Amino acid sequence: MKIDVSENETKIEAFRLEKELFDKKPSFEKHLNLFDKLGEFYQHYVEIMINAGPVEDSLTINGLVLFTQDSEIKEVYKDVNSTYKDLNLLNDELSSAFKHYNHYFPNKRVPEVTTYISGFNYAVAASDSVLGIGLDMYLGNNYKYYNMIGFPQYKTYSMRSEYITPDAIKGWIATEFEFDPIGKDMLAQIIHHGKIMYMMDAILPNTPDSLKIVYSKDQLEWCKNNESNIWAQFIDKQLLFSTNTKEIMSYLNDGPFTPGMPRESPPKVGVWLGWQIVKAYMERKGDVNLENLIQADAKDILKESKYKPRN
The 10s digit of each residue's pLDDT in 16-27 is 999 999 998 889
Q: In angstroms, how far apart are the furthest CA atoms of the chain?
A: 63
pLDDT classification of 310: cutoffs 50, 70, 90: confident
Does residue 286 carry a pLDDT above 90? no
pLDDT of residue 101: 98
Q: Are 161 and 222 in contact (CB under 8 A)?
A: no
Q: Which residues contact 78 (CB under 8 A, 6 or more apart)?
A: none
Residue 287: band (very low, low, confident or very high) from pLDDT cuts 50, 70, 90? confident
Report CA-CA distances (Å) from 118 to 76, 148, 280, 310: 10, 16, 40, 43
d(CA 23, CA 69): 11
pTM of the entire structure?
0.95
Average pLDDT over residues 95-105: 97
Inter-residue contact 39 to 129 (CB < 8 Å)? yes
Per-residue pLDDT, 1: 74
Give the C-alpha separation, 25 to 152, whole Å. Answer: 36
Tens-place pLDDT, residues 153-167? 999 999 999 999 999
CA–CA gap between residue 50 and residue 64 (Å, rounded): 8
**pLDDT > 70 fraction of the chain, expressed in percent and rounded:** 100
| Domain ranges, ordered by start, for the chain | 15-176, 186-305
Q: What is the pLDDT of residues 227-259, one digit of tens each?
A: 999 999 999 999 999 999 999 999 999 999 999
Contact 160, 140 (CB under 8 A): yes
Report the pLDDT value the prediction gives residue 64, as an integer from 0 to 100.
96
